Amino acid sequence: MNLRTFRVRLVTAATGFLLLLANLGAQAEPAHAPAAKPAAAQSNDSAKEEALPPVLPPEQFFGPAAMGYAAAKGCAQICFKLFCYCGCDITDNHKCLLDCFTGYHGADCHICQEEAMVALRMSKNDESLATIQKAIDEGYSSKYPFKEESPALKHYKATRKWQSNAAGQASDPGQSTCCSPKK
């Protein structure tokens, strides 16, 4: 495959992905659907959403960068609760994955892009936040470029929805297993 064919296929795939994301975001919930939360909880969630910094428009990027920005935009609330393991917590003072896409950092970083795409895919499959965090942590923590954990990483680990026990095994407070101790 020559370079021109590769570029055409890459742009075609990226365009298709962006169109898919646009269609998913444009689908409205039916009017007859019951509210999942009380109105007070919904207003608190929308206030939190409004407080999040906006993701840069994916249309100003191409290829994997455009897909990363589109994914972050499609699941901004989840990206806000994920840690980015590329080291931008130290280099750019980022606190969460969402920070990578509110500026231009995510345009050049494949780790940020991949984490956002995994988060979007898993959220579209109705995976829990704990499950998404665990997948990102297990898949990308080995790429963290620093020996010592930053304050941002320590804070994330203390507040994430899943924790590993002393033996290094993951525990999800929302799940019980056959081997978990009885309470």
**Predicted confidence (pLDDT) at residue 26 exceeds the cutoff of 60:** no
pLDDT at 164: 75
Answer whether residue 182 shows pLDDT above 70: no
Asked if 98 and 79 touch (Cβ cutoff 8 Å), the reply is yes
- Identity of the residue numbered 94: H
Let me know the angle formed at the C-alpha of 10 by 74 and 59, rounded to the nearest 5 degrees: 40
Phi, psi for 170 (deg, rounded to 5): -75, 145
pLDDT digits (tens, 9 = 90+) for 27-71: 433 333 344 444 434 434 444 555 899 999 999 999 999 999 999
- Look at the block and give the residue holding tokens 């990308």: 140
The pLDDT of residue 158 = 96
